[in-house]
Amino acid sequence: MTRLSLTETCLLDVSGELGKKTRAQLHEHMDRIPKAYLEHELIRGQFDLLRSIPKPHMTDDQRRHMASAIKQGIHRKLRKIEREQVAAKRWRIVYHAMAGVSALAASLVITVGIFLVQNHVVQERRLAIARAEQNVRDYLQPGPGNMTDYAYNNLTQEIQLAVDSQSARHEDATAELKLLEALDSIPTKSPTPAQPGSL
């Protein structure tokens, strides 16, 4: 049930539309609170003044015209409220669509940003690997400039000398073996017994 304000209750009382129980509660309230009694009397005076205004006499056409004007006014008001509700709904749809587009654009920007960062990291990694490989090649290749190259050249020369020396020893051993084989292949004569009287 709708709770009425004091002004609305007083207006219903002076117009004779208030129920007996509610009317008794209102008069009890006015007896306790003088401000409520003053409000009731003020509304009674305004209502009596309104009743004292003479009612204009209207023909049937005027009544129909006034009823039609009231209906049209109500319909205009309802259409205006309906248009406002449709416009509000349309703006909500546009807002949600814009929010969706904004979220999509933000996710696209983040995705592209992540891709660019990853691509940059991969490029930096490749450059670092290429620099490391070049440094290793420079370190391993002999050159006239640094101590590493000098040590590398010396080591290479010593290895070559060792290989050459090993090869020379192998050749000497091979020659000795051939000499022994040649000596071994020479036929030997068995010694003849010495004749008596011969030297």
| pLDDT score recorded for residue 95 | 87
Summarize the confidence of residues 107-114 as an average pLDDT: 84
Give which of 43, 34, 46, 51 is closest to 4, Cα–Cα.
Answer: 43
Summarize the confidence of residues 137-163 as an average pLDDT: 64
CA distance linking residue 194 with residue 85, whole number of Å: 152
Does residue 171 or residue 17 have the better pLDDT?
17
SS3 (DSSP) at 136 = helix
pLDDT band at 99 (very low <50, low <70, confident <90, very high): confident
pLDDT band at 152 (very low <50, low <70, confident <90, very high): low
Asked if pLDDT for residue 150 goes beyond 80, the answer is: no
Chain centroid offset of residue 160 CA: 64
Summarize the confidence of residues 39-66 as an average pLDDT: 84
Q: Tell me the pLDDT tens digit for each residue of 9-26.
A: 888 888 888 888 888 998
| pLDDT score recorded for residue 1 | 44
CA distance linking residue 141 with residue 52, whole number of Å: 122
SS3 (DSSP) at 36 = helix
Asked if pLDDT for residue 90 goes beyond 50, the answer is: yes
